[in-house]
Amino acid sequence: MSLVARVLEAGGISTVTYTNGRDIAASAGNPRQIFLNYPLGNPAGRPHDPENQRSVLRAGLKLLEDAERPGIIVDLPYTWSDSRVWIEKFMTDEQPFISEDAEAKRQDLLKKAREQKARQIH
């Protein structure tokens, strides 16, 4: 996603990217990043909490208004949980990132995509 932000920015459009993965966007050279330290899947705020979502979005608008140089990361103060279990268990054997069902679906779609690609080449 940060690569798209870079293309837009280079084309004259100001961007702000809301992330749950601080290091990924930073590594890619994202123009303006709002980091929300929530589990993957909630870049725009806490589910079913419109006020939190509004605050998150507003932080990005402020960054758009204030930023005078590229690469600024704003770390938002909101926390997901009092427990850090979600940080510890992520991508472990106990809590694998991709479920078996999802992996099977992914492989099936990938196979279809490869077949499509092969047809384009021939």
Partner 1 sequence: MDYIRYIEKTHEYYRGQGYDKTYNYAYNKDIPFVPLKKPLSECRVTLVSTASFLLLDEEGLPLEEPRMLGTNELEVFTEPSDWSVNRILSTSEDHDRYQTDMNDVNAFFPTTRMQEFLKEGIFGALSKNYYRALPNYSHRKTTEVDGPEILRQCLEDNVDVALLTPV
Footprint of partner 1 on residues 36-75 (CB under 8 A)?
A: 37-48, 50, 53-54, 57, 60-61, 64-65, 67-71, 75
Q: What's the rounded Cα separation, in Å, for the pair 1 and 82? A: 29
Cα 116–chain centre separation: 28
> Shortest distance, CB of residue 106 to partner 1, whole angstroms?
7
Which DSSP string do the residues of 42-75 spell out, in sequence order? -TT--TT-HHHHHHHHHHHHHHHHH--STTEEEE
Site for partner 1 in 11-30 (CB under 8 A): 11-19, 21-25, 27-30
Q: How many residues bind partner 1 (CB under 8 A)?
A: 78
> Shortest distance, CB of residue 89 to partner 1, whole angstroms?
7
| Residue 104 in the binding site for partner 1 (CB under 8 A) | no
For residues 30 and 6, is the Cβ–Cβ distance under 8 A? yes
Q: Which two tokens stand for residue 44?
A: 């725009």
* Run of H or E residues at 103: helix 100-121
Site for partner 1 in 79-98 (CB under 8 A): 80, 84, 86-87, 89-91, 95, 97-98
> Shortest distance, CB of residue 112 to partner 1, whole angstroms?
7
> Shortest distance, CB of residue 1 to partner 1, whole angstroms?
3
